[in-house]
Structure 1
Amino acid sequence: MTYNEFKDKVFKLAKEKGFEAQITYSKNYEFSIRLANGNMDEYKDANNSSISLKVLKNGKIGSASTTIFDAPERLLEEAITNYEIIDSEEENFFYDGKGEYPDIKSYYGEFEKLSVKEKMGKLNKMHEIASKDESIMMVPMTVLGHQVTEVSMANTLGLEKTYKGDGGYAYISVVAKDKSPRSGFWYGLTTKPENLNVEEISQKAVEEAKAKIGAKSVKSGKYRVIFRKDEFASLISTMLIPMISAENAQKNMSPLKEKVGEKIGSDILKIKDVPYYEGSLSNAAFDNEGVPTKEKNIIENGKFKTFLYNLKTAKKEGKESTGNASGRGIAPINLLVEPGELNFNELIKKLDNGIIITSLEGLHSGANPISGEFSLGAQGLKVENGEIVGGVEQITVSGNFLNILKNIEAIGNDMWISFGGAISPSVIVSEIDIAGNE
């Protein structure tokens, strides 16, 4: 049975039983190769697919899933059974597919054209570059991969949308010689092979490890810091994304509740949610409910402009969905921190004296997006008179995330695309508490 035959059968049966129905069909392909200390450790070349069915009546949803186009009657009955046991007063909705959808090119197919030999060549090159550096004693892991995602979504209200996207990635971990081994890690991701610079990824990992040689702690106190682009992206993913969820605000789980229109950040801070960013693997023309995505300002010159909504949370406030329903609830498509004018070296010069934060540890246990408070182990680089003078370890950075946003005094132009859809440059924060043991 084909997808269309299966879908039509389910929709017909659902309508006969008095339900609206919605099907999401997802197909995923993943290829990856992993080297462990230069030897092939894992080879993956896999396809998987899933069919998710939701039925809706009187604002209540039941769901079921399968992996094969077989027995549509059974899948529908399972969804209806689950509908009948749902005990919730919250009203749910389907989207009718109306509205203007952005024209987004997300599938290029260039990674799939590469032969396995070409992919191995890139992977071996990464390992070779890292291992030939005299300071590197080990290259524990080298990975290269790519993926293709296809989604078809349709419902009995008229929604009928499809999406196909792809992209590739590479990452490497290295260990440098010291009194205790010093690790370095770097990765890159993009939609086209020519933009995946495996040489740079290896060199960055090596630089990261070598910079930690001889690292030591610092005295406790207040410091000016640079949050390097990758770590600032991780921080806003952990802290800001939950804060701007309308669902969390409605549950009194966001410190930004009732702060729309208020100043919550630096005058120079601009953060958007955008449906497309070149090189991102998160681009999408519609969200998990089929609602069209669109660009929106989250923070504009320091002012908080809007929460992100799905259909259910928007209805509660008499608003329209912002197109941000996700498998995790509500999330941005691409959370973009608008770049400034300074490159990373210029940021270091502007910092003059302070610390560059290059690693944050324990984000999911030491950071609380409900209160904004965080206390995180960290590593970094010490800067004196605009020059990096050594590595920093055994420190803890702590404070409130909203204070970080207010204390941003400079923003770089060294953009970083993360796996989670956060896109950010490095930033200078004028003051943060650091505990050390020097």
Structure 2
Amino acid sequence: MTYNEFKDKIFKLAKEKGFEAQIYYSKNYEFSIRLANGQMDEYKDANSSSISLKVLKDGKIGSASTTMFDSPERLLEEAITNYEIIDSKEENLFYDGSGEYLDIKSYYGEFEKLSVKEKMEKLNKMFEIASKDENIMMVPMTVYAHQTTEVAMANTLGLDKTYKGDGGYAYLSVVAKDKSPRSGFWYGLAPKPENLKVEDISEKAVEEAKAKIGAKSVKSGKYRVIFRKDEFASLLSAMLIPMISAENAQKNMSPLKNKLGEKIASDILKIKDVPFYEGSLSNASFDSEGVPTKEKNIIENGEFKTFLYNLKTAKKEGKESTGNAAGRGIAPINLLVEPGEKSFDELLKELNNGIIITSLEGLHSGANPISGEFSLGAQGLKVENGKIVSGVEQITVSGNFLDILKKIEVVGNDMWISFGGTISPSVLISEIDIAGNE
């Protein structure tokens, strides 16, 4: 039975029983190869698929899932059975497919054209570049991978949308010689193989490890810092994304509740949610409820402009969904920090004396998006007179995330794209508390 035959059969049966119905079908292909200390450790070449059915009546939903296009009657009965045992007063909704959907190109198929031999050559090249450096004693892990995702979504209200996207990624971990071994890690991602620069990834991982050789702590105090692009993206993902969820605000779990229209950040900070960003693997023309995505300002010149909504949270406030449903939660498509004009080297000169934060540890345990408070182990680089002079380790950075946003002095132009679609440059912060043991 084909997807369309399966869908039509279920929709017909559901309507006969007095239900609206919605199907979400996803098909995924994943290829990955991994070296452990230069030896083949994992080879994956696999397809997977899933079919999710939801039935809706009187604002209540029942769901069921399968992996095969067979027995539509049984899947429907399972969803209806689950509907009958649900005890919830929250009103659920389906989207009818109306509105304007962006034409976003997310599938290129270039990774699939590469032979296994070509992929192995790229993997081995990463290992060779890293291992030939005299300071590197070990290359524990080297990975080259790509994936393709296809989605079809339809319901009895008129929604009928499809999506196909692909992209690849590579990462490398290395260990440098020192009194105690120093680790380095770097990754990259891209929609096409030619944009996934394996040489750069290897060299950057080596650079990360070598920068830590001889690293030591600093005295406790207040420091001017640069949050490097990758680490500022991580901090935004852990702190800002939960804060801008309308669901969290409605549950009194966001410090931004009742702050719409207020100044919450530096005047120079602009953050958007965008459906498309060149090089991102998170681009999408519709969210997980089928609602069209659109560009929106979240923070504009320091002012908080909007929460992100799915259908249910929007209904509670008499608003429209912003197209940000993400499974059972709410999230941006691409959270974009608008770049400034200065390069990273220019940020260093602007910093003059301070610390570059290159690694944050314990983001899921040491950062609280409900209060905004964080206390995180960190590593970095010490800067004197605008130049990097040594590595920094065994420090803790702490403060309130919203205070940090207000203390942004300069936004760089060195953009970083993370796996989760958070896109950010490096930023210079006027002051932050750092605890060290020197």
2:257 & 2:341 partners in 1: Cα distance?
A: 32
Aligned counterpart, 1:206: 206
The one-letter amino acid paired with 1:376 is L
SS in 2 for 1:63: strand
The one-letter amino acid paired with 1:34 is R
The one-letter amino acid paired with 2:238 is T
The one-letter amino acid paired with 1:230 is D
Spell out the pairing of 1:73-92 with structure 2 (5 A cutoff). Answer: 73-92=73-92
Aligned counterpart, 1:121: 121
1:28 & 1:281 partners in 2: Cα distance?
A: 14
Aligned counterpart, 1:421: 421
1:235 & 1:87 partners in 2: Cα distance?
A: 37
Aligned counterpart, 1:306: 306
CA deviations over 1:82-139 (Å, ceiling 9, x no partner): 1111111110100000000011000000000000111011111100000000000000
Aligned counterpart, 2:320: 320
Does 2:288 correspond to 1:288? yes
Spell out the pairing of 1:217-366 with structure 2 (5 A cutoff). Answer: 217-366=217-366
SS in 1 for 2:267: coil
The one-letter amino acid paired with 1:67 is T
1:345 & 1:116 partners in 2: Cα distance?
A: 39
Does 2:171 correspond to 1:171? yes
1:223 & 1:80 partners in 2: Cα distance?
A: 59
2:81 & 2:26 partners in 1: Cα distance?
A: 23
Aligned counterpart, 2:431: 431
1:12 & 1:314 partners in 2: Cα distance?
A: 29
Aligned counterpart, 1:98: 98
The one-letter amino acid paired with 1:434 is I
- Runs of 5+ in structure 1 lacking a partner? none
Report deviation, 1:323. Answer: 0.1
2:227 & 2:117 partners in 1: Cα distance?
A: 38
1:116 & 1:345 partners in 2: Cα distance?
A: 39
2:387 & 2:20 partners in 1: Cα distance?
A: 63
Report deviation, 1:370. Answer: 0.3
The one-letter amino acid paired with 2:399 is G
SS in 2 for 1:423: strand
Report deviation, 1:381. Answer: 0.2
Query: How large is the Cα RMSD of the aligned pairs?
Result: 0.5
SS in 2 for 1:163: strand
Report deviation, 1:328. Answer: 4.4
Normalised TM-score (structure 2): 1.00
1:217 & 1:256 partners in 2: Cα distance?
A: 35
Aligned counterpart, 2:395: 395
2:41 & 2:299 partners in 1: Cα distance?
A: 44
Count of matched residue positions in the alignment of Structure 1 and Structure 2: 438
Report deviation, 1:359. Answer: 0.2
SS in 2 for 1:134: coil
CA deviations over 1:189-242 (Å, ceiling 9, x no partner): 010111011110000000000000000000000000000000000000000000
1:313 & 1:371 partners in 2: Cα distance?
A: 21
- Runs of 5+ in structure 2 lacking a partner? none
CA deviations over 1:252-306 (Å, ceiling 9, x no partner): 0000001010000000000000000111110000000000000000000000000
SS in 2 for 1:225: strand
Aligned counterpart, 1:10: 10
Aligned counterpart, 1:23: 23
CA deviations over 1:36-62 (Å, ceiling 9, x no partner): 011110000000000000000000001
SS in 2 for 1:391: strand
1:74 & 1:258 partners in 2: Cα distance?
A: 46
SS in 2 for 1:379: strand
Aligned counterpart, 1:411: 411
Aligned counterpart, 1:215: 215
1:250 & 1:164 partners in 2: Cα distance?
A: 33
CA deviations over 1:360-388 (Å, ceiling 9, x no partner): 00000000000000000000000000000
Does 2:39 correspond to 1:39? yes
1:437 & 1:36 partners in 2: Cα distance?
A: 35
The one-letter amino acid paired with 1:278 is E
Structure 1's consecutive aligned runs of 4 or more residues displaced over 4 angstroms after TM superposition are none
SS in 1 for 2:68: coil
SS in 1 for 2:203: helix
Identity of aligned residues (%): 89
Aligned counterpart, 1:141: 141
SS in 2 for 1:390: strand
1:294 & 1:285 partners in 2: Cα distance?
A: 8
1:161 & 1:241 partners in 2: Cα distance?
A: 26
2:220 & 2:200 partners in 1: Cα distance?
A: 34
2:293 & 2:392 partners in 1: Cα distance?
A: 42
Aligned counterpart, 1:54: 54
CA deviations over 1:315-335 (Å, ceiling 9, x no partner): 100100000000141000000
CA deviations over 1:117-170 (Å, ceiling 9, x no partner): 110111111000000000000000000000000000000000000000000000
Normalised TM-score (structure 1): 1.00
Report deviation, 1:431. Answer: 0.6
